[in-house]
C-alpha cells in the first residue's frame, strides 16, 4: 500500500467525513463492498477497551511497532527510539500507531504515557491501538491522543521499540502498515488494501437507507396496533433489502 499522501485513495476531507460515523456504521458500508468474509475479516477478534470514548471515532493509516517491556535486552539497540521516530515521521498522516506487545497476555509495562503520546501527536499520529497497556491517562487525554488498549498499568518497565514498519497482530487481527483504520469504543476495522475507494459512499448509503426504512418504521410505531407495526416493519425490511440490492447487488442484513 502506498505510504505517500499523493498515492492514497481517500482525501483528508473523506477521512473527516468517515470520522462522523461510528465504527459499526463504517462496517455496514464495508460489508457491501468487500470481497473478504464480512463475518470474520478486518475487525478485532478479541475485546478492546476505548479509554477515550468522549473523543469519538479515530480514523487514520496504520504505522506499526512491536515492543516487549519485560525484556531489558532490547535496550542494547541504543538508536532504536531515534530510528523508530524517523519511521513515524516519514509516513504522512493522519496515523494510528498499532502496537504489538510481545508480553501479552501478561502485560507488565506501557509503551504509552504522557511523553510518548505528545511525541507521536507532534508527528501526525491521532491515537493508538495497542494490545498492551497505557498509563498517564489524563495526560494522554490532554494531548488529544486516543487509545484502544488492553488495560492500564503503573510503569513503563523496559518499553523499547523492538521492530517497526512490518505486519503486527493486535487483538487477534493482523494489520499491515498503511492500512486504513476506523476505531471507536466498539473496536476497530482495518480496511483491506484496495477496498478504501467505495467505503465512504457505501457507509453514507447504508446509514441513509436505514433511516428511510427500518428505523423510520420502528420510530413511527406510536398509536398503531401490533399488526400495523409488524406489517410496516416487514415492508420496511423488504424496502431496505431492495435498495441494497439495487445499489450493490446484495441483499443486506434485512
| pLDDT mean for each 10 residues of the chain (254 residues) | 60 94 97 94 96 97 97 93 98 96 95 96 97 96 97 94 97 97 98 94 95 94 93 93 89 59
**Per-residue model confidence (pLDDT) at position 158:** 93
- The CATH classification number of 12-193 equals 3.50.30.40
The secondary structure element, H or E, covering residue 112 is strand 110-112
**Per-residue model confidence (pLDDT) at position 244:** 93
What whole-number distance in Å separates Cα of residue 126 and Cα of residue 151? Answer: 19
What whole-number distance in Å separates Cα of residue 229 and Cα of residue 65? Answer: 52
DSSP letter string over 139-207?
A: HHHHHT-EEEESEE-S--TT--EEEESS-EEETTEEE-TT-EEEEETTEEEEEPTT-STTHHHHHHHHH
* DSSP, res 71: -
**Per-residue model confidence (pLDDT) at position 38:** 93
The pairing of strands 58-67 and 110-112 is: unpaired
Q: Note whether 52 and 174 are within 8 A (CB).
A: no
Q: Model-level pTM?
A: 0.92
- The domain locations on the chain are 12-193, 200-248
Amino acid at each position: 500500500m502506498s505510504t505517500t499522501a499523493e498515492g492514497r485513495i481517500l482525501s483528508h476531507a473523506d477521512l473527516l467525513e468517515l470520522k462522523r460515523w461510528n465504527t459499526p456504521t463504517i462496517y455496514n458500508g464495508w460489508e457491501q463492498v468487500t470481497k473478504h468474509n464480512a463475518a470474520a475479516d478486518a475487525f478485532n477478534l478479541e475485546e478492546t477497551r476505548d479509554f477515550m470514548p468522549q473523543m469519538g471515532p479515530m480514523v487514520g493509516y496504520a504505522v506499526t511497532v512491536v515492543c516487549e517491556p519485560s525484556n531489558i535486552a532490547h535496550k542494547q539497540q541504543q538508536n532504536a527510539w531515534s530510528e523508530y521516530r524517523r519511521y513515524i515521521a516519514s509516513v504522512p498522516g493522519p496515523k494510528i500507531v498499532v502496537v504489538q506487545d510481545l508480553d501479552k497476555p501478561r502485560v507488565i509495562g506501557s509503551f504509552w504515557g504522557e511523553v510518548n503520546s505528545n511525541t507521536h501527536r507532534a508527528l501526525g499520529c491521532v491515537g493508538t491501538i495497542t494490545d498492551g497497556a497505557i498509563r498517564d491517562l489524563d495526560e494522554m487525554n490532554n494531548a488529544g491522543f486516543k487509545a484502544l488498549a488492553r488495560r492500564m498499568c503503573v510503569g513503563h518497565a523496559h518499553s523499547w521499540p523492538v521492530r517497526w514498519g512490518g505486519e503486527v497482530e493486535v487483538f487477534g487481527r493482523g494489520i499491515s502498515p498503511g492500512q486504513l483504520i476506523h476505531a471507536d469504543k466498539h473496536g476497530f476495522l482495518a480496511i483491506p488494501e484496495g477496498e478504501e475507494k467505495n467505503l465512504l459512499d457505501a457507509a453514507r448509503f447504508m446509514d441513509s437507507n436505514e433511516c428511510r426504512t427500518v428505523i423510520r418504521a420502528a420510530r413511527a410505531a406510536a398509536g398503531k396496533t401490533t399488526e400495523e407495526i409488524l406489517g410496516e416493519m416487514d415492508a420496511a425490511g423488504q424496502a431496505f433489502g431492495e435498495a441494497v440490492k439495487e445499489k450493490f447487488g446484495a441483499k443486506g442484513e434485512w
